[in-house]
Amino acid sequence: MRRLRGIAAAPGVAAAPPYRLAFDAGPGGARLDLDAAVEVAVAQLDALAARLAAAGRPDEGAIFDAQALLAQDEELLGAARTSVAAGEGVDAAVVAAGEEAATMLAALDDETLAARAADVRDVAARIARAARGEAPPRLERPSVLVAADVAPSITAELDRSLLAGIALEGGSRTSHAAILARALGIPAVVGIPGLLAAVEGAGELIVDGTSGEVIVEPDAAARGHAIAAGDAHRAQLARDLALATQPLALAGGHRLVLAANIGSPEEAARAVAAGAEAVGLFRTEFAFLERAAAPDEATQAAAYASVLRTLGPRPVVMRLLDVGGDKPLPYLPMPVEANPFLGVRAIRLVHAHREIMATQLRAILRASRAAGVAEPRIMAPMVADLADLREVRGLLDEALAATGGDGVAPRLGIMVEVPSAVLVADQLAREAAFFSVGTNDLTQYLLAADRTNPALAERQDPLHPAVLRAIARVVAAAGAGGIEVAVCGEMGGDPAGALLLAGLGVDELSMDAGAFGGVKRALAGVTLAEARSLAGAALELDDAAAVRRLVGVRVGTA
Amino acid sequence: MPCVTVTVRNPSGLHARPAATFVKAAAAYATDVRITNLTRDAARSASAKSILGVMGLGVSQGHELQIEADGEDAERAVAELAALVEGGLGESLPA
């Protein structure tokens, strides 16, 4: 028995005989010329991409889609053609051309592009194998794939049901093989010095992708331990999967809408994968950042529509541009303010920069129509009173008239974060379509504690009874007005905060998708009656620390 | 000669997937389309129809990309490709 240490690249444990990756010439494999070899390689890659897409893994499929494009790239093939014309063999010529291109990419001093260099070598090697008439590798029994490094297309091409684990002498956590192994749920350890020599002639291998250990010729105890660890890992995966498809509910069945906060197309896809039922906060700023000029209506519409399509039928609350002196945009000149959080920000920009907001509203309406969203939910940030809400309503009506409406009937709600909005919530509830409490800013404004000042960090806890009382007041006003209340601040993603919000009668919790699991677990252990009495008691406590102690007992964090 | 400059906002820049989307779109035009990464090296351009050429420009998030074309549908090609880049090249859209 011999233990080797590498980099844990994909979790899980597997015990199986090693399969040393090598290519065999297929029986009677005929040598092909460059164009025919390219054709075979492209057909293999297209089939691979289609298979992954059909298996519900379109992101991985896209890697091979891009490889198929590379295989037909004239810059790559042109170099190979020149060498072939000069008398070199097709396989050597294409490998050399691929190596040259890969070196060029790797020299760009960019981590992502260095990984793309592996794609180019992979494609060149595939064309070379086709030119030599070689068949792709095949597994005959459950095995641990052992190699110096492995091309991503090989990992995906091998029969998944027989691929027990992966052990590589080279590679890193971010190499394609590692990413694919994680996506496929195959335990993998990479970057293991001396692996190939140690495995030579070995009959069995344990790959522990959680700890990063590989054991060659394990004894009975090590094998037993590995099998138990592998079973435990699979059971945990099954539990996580079951949780992902479960709704957000209290013990006894009272449901809350589980929503995600997103700020980019990538996060939209992640929210869908994590099982979000809605998006409670779509931060539209991403369309405005890192630009020299304001995005025009068509550009914004395309960006929003792409996110809306990703989210399909899920309700999406799109928040209007929320910028201010603390995060200025180069094309939106803002005077320097002594207190940007109390300054001209969010909808208050409507006076100085009316066209920016008007353009965004038109873009949202156009994107909604394009994505088939009949009732887009639009949220105005920093609304202090009815005058603010009516100002935005007026702009929205103008945008509707300008875009022709076309069956799109927007619902305009507000972000409740300014203390005055809490105090006049009863008035606002008559004209707003929904409330969403932004607990981060509400906490800073209620407690007069600058979020950006680390010396006041302890005063930033939304579990403070003053914040809880504000939320209770907002919930009551919404109930009287017949509208729904969501919470889209950090508080909703904190198990203790989520429990209190459920007890206060909030309808929807919107949070980073990564917080779903913890919040679901916290709520599942408490009934609605318990949550209500907990929230009622919290309202009467002295400070945030006391509330944390009270609730922490119930969510296991005290 | 039609020419426009856009900023690439994709988090991973113009690499494998967004690059593939861009190259496929560029291949649909009759005209030759050249692109230049003004942020990295304004003196070096590549064919927009070559994925290797596009990736070789090392376009990262925030880089300024110049798109130019010279031919019968050049105006349309430049405008549409610029809009495609501005729109995020379909990243994260379900396939």
Listing DSSP states for A45-69 in one string gives HHHHHHHHHHTT-HHHHHHHHHHHH
Q: Name the closest residue on chain B to residue A269, using Cα atoms.
A: B92
**pLDDT tens for residues A29-83?**
567 899 999 999 999 898 888 887 877 777 777 788 888 989 999 888 999 999 9
Query: Residue A318 — φ and ψ, nearest 5°?
Result: -95, 120
User: With an 8 Å Cβ cutoff, are B16 and A298 in contact?
Assistant: no
User: With an 8 Å Cβ cutoff, are B94 and A104 in contact?
Assistant: no
Which of A262-276, A307-321, B60-74, B76-90 holds the top average pLDDT? A307-321
Considering CB atoms only, which of A65, A110, A113 is closest to B20?
A65
pLDDT grade for B2, boundaries at 50, 70 and 90:
confident
Confidence at residue A520, expressed as pLDDT on a 0 to 100 scale: 92
Considering CB atoms only, which of B15, B49, B88 is closest to A113?
B15
With an 8 Å Cβ cutoff, is A175 touching chain B? Answer: no
User: With an 8 Å Cβ cutoff, are A290 and B62 in contact?
Assistant: yes
Alpha carbon of B72: minimum distance to chain A alpha carbons (Å): 22
| Beta-carbon contacts of residue A161 (< 8 Å; ≥ 6 apart) | none
Query: Which residues 43-72 on chain B approach chain A with CB closer than 8 angstroms?
Result: 47, 49-53, 55-56, 58, 60-62
Q: Name the closest residue on chain B to residue A62, using Cα atoms.
A: B17
With b for 16 or more beta-carbon neighbours within 10 A and e for fewer, the A181-219 pattern comes to bbebebbbbbbbeebbebbeebebbbbbbbebbbbbbbe
| Beta-carbon contacts of residue A397 (< 8 Å; ≥ 6 apart) | none
Helix-strand-coil percent breakdown of chain A, rounded to 5? 55, 15, 30
With an 8 Å Cβ cutoff, is A309 touching chain B? Answer: yes
Confidence at residue A111, expressed as pLDDT on a 0 to 100 scale: 59
Confidence at residue A29, expressed as pLDDT on a 0 to 100 scale: 56
Element (H, E) at A115: helix A111-132
Alpha carbon of A267: minimum distance to chain B alpha carbons (Å): 9
Residue A61: list chain B partners with CB under 8 A. Answer: 95
Considering CB atoms only, which of A65, A105, A299 is closest to B87?
A299
What are the residue numbers of the active site of B? 15
User: With an 8 Å Cβ cutoff, are B9 and A295 in contact?
Assistant: no
Q: Name the closest residue on chain A to residue B86, using Cα atoms.
A: A299
**pLDDT tens for residues B46-58?**
999 888 888 888 8
**Closest C-alpha among A396, A465, A478 to residue A437:** A478
CA B49/CA B26 separation, integer angstroms? 6
Confidence at residue A22, expressed as pLDDT on a 0 to 100 scale: 62
CA A151/CA A41 separation, integer angstroms? 14
Which of B32, B39, B52 should one mutate to test binding to chain A, selecting the residue with the greatest count of A CBs within 10 A? Answer: B52
CA B34/CA B39 separation, integer angstroms? 16
Axis-axis angle for helices A495-504, A544-555 (nearest 10): 100
Residue A273: list chain B partners with CB under 8 A. Answer: none
**Closest C-alpha among A119, A130, A117, A120 to residue A91:** A130
**Closest C-alpha among A44, A61, A43 to residue A52:** A61
User: With an 8 Å Cβ cutoff, are A303 and B87 in contact?
Assistant: yes
ipTM above 0.95, yes or no: no
CA A223/CA B32 separation, integer angstroms? 61
With an 8 Å Cβ cutoff, is B17 touching chain A? Answer: yes
Q: Name the closest residue on chain B to residue A120, using Cα atoms.
A: B52
Residue A105: list chain B partners with CB under 8 A. Answer: 55-56
Confidence at residue A279, expressed as pLDDT on a 0 to 100 scale: 97
Alpha carbon of A108: minimum distance to chain B alpha carbons (Å): 6
Q: Name the closest residue on chain B to residue A50, using Cα atoms.
A: B95
Residue count (chain A): 558
Catalytic residue among A176, A233, A353, A464: A176
Element (H, E) at A257: strand A255-262
Considering CB atoms only, which of B15, B20, B62 is closest to A69?
B20
What the block records as the tokens of A422 is 């809490």
Size of interface A-B (CB pairs under 8 A): 101
Q: Name the closest residue on chain A to residue B61, using Cα atoms.
A: A290
Residue A302: list chain B partners with CB under 8 A. Answer: 83, 86-88
Confidence at residue B94, expressed as pLDDT on a 0 to 100 scale: 32
Confidence at residue A110, expressed as pLDDT on a 0 to 100 scale: 62
Residue B9: list chain A partners with CB under 8 A. Answer: 286, 289-291
Q: Which residues of chain A, if any, have pLDDT below 50?
A: 24-28, 557-558
Which of A67, A100, A121, A306 should one mutate to test binding to chain B, selecting the residue with the greatest count of B CBs within 10 A? Answer: A306
Residue B20: list chain A partners with CB under 8 A. Answer: 62, 65-66, 69
Residue B17: list chain A partners with CB under 8 A. Answer: 62-63, 65-66
What the block records as the tokens of A382 is 């920093």
User: With an 8 Å Cβ cutoff, are B91 and A286 in contact?
Assistant: no
DSSP per-residue letters across A374-407: SS-EEEETT--SHHHHHHHHHHHHHHHHHHT-TT
Residue B37: list chain A partners with CB under 8 A. Answer: none
What the block records as the tokens of A433 is 């379509």
Confidence at residue A18, expressed as pLDDT on a 0 to 100 scale: 93
**Which residue carries 């097709």 as its tokens?**
A90
Q: How far apart are the first and last CA of chain B?
A: 35
With an 8 Å Cβ cutoff, is A58 touching chain B? Answer: yes
Alpha carbon of A375: minimum distance to chain B alpha carbons (Å): 21
| Torsion from C-alpha of A50, A55, A56, A60, nearest 10 degrees | -60
With an 8 Å Cβ cutoff, is A249 touching chain B? Answer: no
With an 8 Å Cβ cutoff, is A298 touching chain B? Answer: yes
With an 8 Å Cβ cutoff, is B12 touching chain A? Answer: yes
**Closest C-alpha among A517, A511, A499, A513 to residue A244:** A517
Q: How far apart are the first and last CA of chain A?
A: 45
Confidence at residue A557, expressed as pLDDT on a 0 to 100 scale: 47
Alpha carbon of B1: minimum distance to chain A alpha carbons (Å): 23
